Amino acid sequence: MDRQGVAQAGEIIKAGGLVAFPTETVYGLGGDALNPYSSQKIYAAKGRPSDNPLIVHIAEFEALSRIVREIPPTAVELARRYWPGPLTMIFYKADCVPLATTGGLDTVAVRMPSHQTARALIAAAGGYVAAPSANRSGRPSPTSARYVIEDLDGRVDMIVDGGETDIGLESTIIDLTLDKPVILRPGYITEEMLEEVLGSVDVDTAAVENSHKAPRAPGMKYRHYAPKGSLTIVEGEEEQVMAFVNRQLSFYREKGSKSGVIATDETAKRYQADSVKSLGKRQDEQQIARHLFRALREFDDEGVEVIFAEGFRQGGIGTAVMNRLLKAAGHHVIKL
């Protein structure tokens, strides 16, 4: 870790500037969470609607009590188990958290990342860093510094390069302000893992199903992660999916459209597309999750116009993968 760089990043944020930095999930675009002008700058840099609240990142559990009205016992238990890590919890906010940071809500999302550089940077910045994913609004979240540069060069004061992120999908979000805890965004910390601590949890169905209901996390309502090409998910038995997609591909080849496929190690060689990307072994969900956003961005760089993706199992991390893929596809799914 570059200690001098981290100290400098901390000074920039304290002075009201913006720094993009790595976390274990995706890169974040950080500003002082307690400074409303910093939050406004974050929205402007991302081109993000300002009703879409930011996550406040902390470096130690003790920092939590200052920014929330109360800490329910369930949060203490969840923190003991999954913080630092890819879990965001929603609380009622304390007065010191500006509405500019929470998108006008009286609740605040808080996460303590496990990434060493991220934690050091948060501490150096005064302890409270608002950080959405460091992409331009609507694009896939960046999993390496080169994608942050692609989206935000010239719009931020500094970019900290920490190589590729480990998890590759954004944190799980759980709302603890309701009678029963509700998962608002699925992620690496799965429903099963949360139930180990909480007994039972609800899932905001608008966040995980193929529905058009308004989700409770404001950000989940926006089209997201969308590649420039049109993306269709094809679900069904493996051989049938390959046969169907290859028929489609030959149609687009004749039309002269550049095509791409999101596949797995088991199937990648059998697709006849201009660009075939394997996300990894089908059984290795962590690998699949890590590579999804990069694949979507690479299709853009290659100018791919039509993309087909295999579907993935719901359950475990697969639920988070399918949630992001469905949003990227604008919920366009063909079931064979």
54 or 245, CB closer to Mg ion? 54
17 or 260, CB closer to ligand TXA? 17
For residue 303, the minimal CB distance to Mg ion (Å) is 24
Place of tokens 């274990």: 24
Taking the C-alpha atoms of residue 3 and residue 9, their distance in angstroms, rounded to an integer, is 10
3-state SS assignment for residue 247: helix
List the single partner that 90 binds among Mg ion, ligand TXA, none, CB under 5 to 8 Å by kind: ligand TXA
For residue 148, the minimal CB distance to ligand TXA (Å) is 11
For residue 123, the minimal CB distance to ligand TXA (Å) is 16
List the single partner that 220 binds among ligand TXA, Mg ion, none, CB under 5 to 8 Å by kind: ligand TXA
143 or 278, CB closer to ligand TXA? 143
Spatial CA neighbour of 235 closest among 139, 329, 171: 329
Closest residue to ligand TXA, Cβ-based? 219
49 or 303, CB closer to Mg ion? 49
- The DSSP element (H or E) to which 50 belongs, if any, is none
133 or 323, CB closer to Mg ion? 133
For residue 220, the minimal CB distance to ligand TXA (Å) is 5
Q: Where are the beta strands (DSSP E) in the chain?
A: 19-21, 28-32, 55-57, 87-92, 107-111, 129-130, 158-159, 172-175, 182-185, 202-203, 230-235, 259-263, 275-278, 306-310, 333-335
For residue 240, the minimal CB distance to ligand TXA (Å) is 35
List the single partner that 288 binds among ligand TXA, Mg ion, none, CB under 5 to 8 Å by kind: none
List the single partner that 242 binds among Mg ion, ligand TXA, none, CB under 5 to 8 Å by kind: none
Taking the C-alpha atoms of residue 258 and residue 209, their distance in angstroms, rounded to an integer, is 30
Taking the C-alpha atoms of residue 32 and residue 143, their distance in angstroms, rounded to an integer, is 22
For residue 132, the minimal CB distance to Mg ion (Å) is 5
Spatial CA neighbour of 86 closest among 114, 66, 48, 117: 114
54 or 242, CB closer to ligand TXA? 54
Contacts 24+ apart (CB under 8 A), 200-208: 201/174, 207/183, 207/323, 208/183, 208/314, 208/319, 208/322, 208/323
**Polymer length of the chain:** 336
Phi-psi region of 199 (alpha: psi -120 to 50; beta: other; left: phi over 0): left
* Token pair for 162: 């920490």
ω into residue 84 within 30 of 0, thus cis? yes
> Which residues are near ligand TXA by CB under 6 A?
23, 25-26, 28, 52-55, 86, 88, 90, 102, 105, 107-109, 111, 113, 131-133, 170-171, 173, 184, 217-220
For residue 219, the minimal CB distance to ligand TXA (Å) is 2
Residues 123-182 touching Mg ion, rule: CB under 5 A, are 133
166 or 274, CB closer to Mg ion? 166
Q: Tell me which residues touch Mg ion (CB under 5 A).
A: 133
